[in-house]
Structure 1
Amino acid sequence: MATAEGHSDPGTQATAGRRALPKMYAGAGSLLAVCLIGVLGYAAAGWRLDDSAFMVVITIFGVGYGEVRPVDTTELRLLTGFIIVAGYGAVIYTVGGFIQLVVDGEINRAFGARRMNKDIEGLRNHTIICGYGRMGQSLAAELTAAGKPFVAIDADPDAFERVPVEGGRPWIVGDATFEPVLERAGIGRAETLATVLSNDAANVFVTVTGRAMNPTMQILARADDRNTEDKLRNCGANTVVLPTDIGAMKMSQLIVRPSAEELLEGLTESGDVDLVQLGLEFDEIELKASSPWLNRTLGEVEVRGAHGYLIVGVRRVDGSTVMHPPADLRLDVDDRVIILGYHDDIPELGTKVVRRRGAYRGIPTDF
């Protein structure tokens, strides 16, 4: 059965360890020093090493055996008393550090789980990542860098120990194919579900379950087998990503047109160079009933500003996207036109398409 239990940030366990482990190390070191002093002390009194070691052990741990040899001198009695006091103290200190490690870890996990539950309950329009393998980890890192809220789910508790989720983002250990786990992730309030499990059948099941629980959210699904792509779309996935095809396409572009591909990669990465620095940006414009573009082809609409635009795609109301749309593509209500243009021109284009009094990205319009 799925485990819908949240856990604290791995950092809380590390904090508990940083407090308790030094005590355990110090106690163990002190105990070892007492043992060495005792063995050497008895040996100096003429005892054999095995008798000395045995006497130290039964003295520290209070086994109750009689004296190995008579402790009949003041020096031996002082040595034995030192071993009793110092040895007991070292053992108690070591055990206390171990107990603190266990108790602090449990307390931190309990408080961490409670805090994480509150964090998840406060999320709105977030992304749910099902699967925290290599692809899920990369996706989480990108969303963190972009400042997008998300919840990560994985059935393997060690996945979050190996690669902790950055930024204190919430995560859940559980089977994403189970409804209670998705409910705990706030699927009813989620904007996007990304299922990137390594098993295609599991991704299909998550897609079916997710679509039934939230009919309006966007679902992105991973598929390793091309034959699974249609199944995922039929089950409700808006977009299906095939990592093998993407990797092959990337490599082919680097072979065929390496300079252009390297430039594009440099522009789109979150680095020192990006589209914003060039004054360019991608945007999308939703066509409402009042838009002058309705029932017209792309070849008929005017897409000009101070510098011009490039229509790179049209997202249909059924969720499909037409990339490199032809000039004879006719536009309908609720279509989303994806454009690439200069930042200063985007609001101007918005006013031409919206044709109503209001604002587009904060720019007043009166059309």
Structure 2
Amino acid sequence: MQSSFRKILIGAVFFLITNIIAIFGYWYAGWDILEAVYMVVITIYGVGYGEVRPIETDVMKIFTIGVIVTGCTSAIYVLGGFVQLIAEGELKRVLGVRRMTLGIEKLSNHVIVCGFGRVGRILARELTESGQEFVVIDTDQERLQEAENNGLFVIIGDATEEKILDAAGVKKARVVASVLPNDAANVFITLTVRELNPDVEIIARGESPSTEKKLLRSGATKVVLPAAIGATRIARLITHPSAEELLMGSFTKTSLNEDLDQIGLQINEILIESGSPIADNPLSDFCLGKMNQFVVVAVRHSDESVNRNPEPDYQVQVGDTLIVLAHRSAVPQIREKVARREIYYRGARG
């Protein structure tokens, strides 16, 4: 079915052209402009007060018939477009899209999710729960209708196109997640995003392990292989079922932190800011009281590189982020010790 807005536009243009040609035709026949305009109005709108001047020639009669037919037809076409517009509720949707567009334009430092399939839905749910602002791009109208009904910002279109990414605010975005099930599309999206915003973080999904290098070469910051992750977890469930179930729980229902929380543990990120007593000291000197209730499992540096096995003599630097596995009760104390000058070292207070 043709779009109601397209019907209205075509009908309005045709109606306007008909009026102009009709006025010009009567004027060319020797009528003055006001008489021509008056004749066109009473003819097209069917008022029928009578001709301004007698129409005696066959040419003028045929011309007037043409004005009546084309003018009324175009007017009916426009009216039909308005009826369709109201019947389909398009006016309401257009106003909603306009409000949504204004909302997207105001976003900054947000996330763009390319694809609202199985993985996209899960990602959107997690981002919503964490309070992160984001925009969803997809070509499927029904999927986006579901997302829109849930109050999400959506854009219908192909995420490989620059204009669609621009509409999503890619130049102001913090992260772009390309989670389409098509590796070629994810590579193309990565290339386009990297060209539009050299500084944005791009997290791409890859179905095939061989695609990982292509995505990284295309500009992806990180690549996630769902199939590889799933296979690894299945292997762990087979080889270490007890430990895996204890630490990971139900992969499809809860996050790692939620499962760790069941045994009193949490994974936390602690940023080392200027003035922190931990800065310029080795990790081996950092402890909490007599019983160390935490483990530093990784250190993310200011350049986003990650040391996944930090040595005890590693010198902590300002800007580092410590990835800490700790008892839930110890987390507030750890943050306090990191922020304050008072900190326990092995064998002494400083």
TM-score, normalization by structure 1:
0.60
Q: What secondary structure is seen at the aligned counterpart in 2 of 1:225?
A: coil
Counterpart among 190, 194, 197 of residue 207 in structure 1: 190
Q: Deviation digits for residues 205-243 of structure 1, max 9, x if unmatched? A: 322333343444432111223233233334433321011
Aligned partner of 2:288 in structure 1 is: 304
Deviation at residue 196 of structure 1 after TM alignment: 1.0
Counterpart among 138, 142, 161 of residue 154 in structure 1: 138
Change (3 A) 1:262 1:276: closer
Higher relative contact order (CA 8 A, sep 6+): 1
Q: CA RMSD in A?
A: 3.3
Residue 189 (structure 1) aligned with residue 172 (structure 2): yes
Q: Deviation digits for residues 297-343 of structure 1, max 9, x if unmatched? A: 43x33132565111122223332333344445554442211112234
Aligned partner of 1:251 in structure 2 is: 234
Change (3 A) 1:171 1:265: same
Q: Is the 8 A contact 2:248 2:260 kept in 1?
A: no
Q: Deviation digits for residues 86-133 of structure 1, max 9, x if unmatched? A: xxxxxxxxxx9xx56863421122122112112323333321101122
Distance 2:319 2:205 in 1: 27
Distance 2:125 2:195 in 1: 28
Aligned partner of 2:104 in structure 1 is: 120
Distance 2:107 2:260 in 1: 30
Residue 220 (structure 1) aligned with residue 203 (structure 2): yes
Deviation at residue 202 of structure 1 after TM alignment: 2.6
Aligned partner of 2:322 in structure 1 is: 337
Q: Is the 8 A contact 1:267 1:275 kept in 2?
A: no
- Percentage identity across aligned positions? 43
Which amino acid letter does the alignment assign opposite residue 156 of structure 1?
A: D
Which stretches in structure 2 are left out of the alignment for 5+ residues? 1-79, 343-349
Change (3 A) 1:316 1:200: farther
Which amino acid letter does the alignment assign opposite residue 111 of structure 2?
A: T
Q: What secondary structure is seen at the aligned counterpart in 2 of 1:168?
A: coil
Distance 2:198 2:276 in 1: 27
Aligned partner of 2:89 in structure 1 is: 105
Distance 1:267 1:159 in 2: 26
Counterpart among 166, 172, 176 of residue 155 in structure 2: 172
Change (3 A) 1:239 1:159: same
Distance 1:244 1:211 in 2: 25
Give the number of equivalent residue pairs. 259
Distance 1:284 1:145 in 2: 18
Q: Is the 8 A contact 1:288 1:334 kept in 2?
A: yes
Deviation at residue 178 of structure 1 after TM alignment: 2.2
Distance 1:167 1:156 in 2: 16
Distance 1:328 1:223 in 2: 37
Q: Is the 8 A contact 1:286 1:336 kept in 2?
A: yes
Distance 2:196 2:292 in 1: 45
Q: Deviation digits for residues 123-181 of structure 1, max 9, x if unmatched? A: 333211011222112211222333332211013334435x5456210111112122221
Change (3 A) 1:146 1:286: closer
Deviation at residue 283 of structure 1 after TM alignment: 1.8
Matches within 5 A, 1:1-367: 103-161=87-145, 164=147, 167-266=150-249, 269-270=253-254, 274-276=259-261, 279-294=264-279, 296-298=281-283, 300-305=284-289, 308-327=293-312, 329-355=314-340
Aligned partner of 1:86 in structure 2 is: none
TM-score, normalization by structure 2:
0.63
Deviation at residue 287 of structure 1 after TM alignment: 2.8
Q: Is the 8 A contact 1:140 1:165 kept in 2?
A: no
Distance 2:288 2:164 in 1: 49
Which amino acid letter does the alignment assign opposite residue 186 of structure 1?
A: G
Which amino acid letter does the alignment assign opposite residue 323 of structure 2?
A: I
Which stretches in structure 1 are left out of the alignment for 5+ residues? 1-95, 358-366
Change (3 A) 1:356 1:115: farther
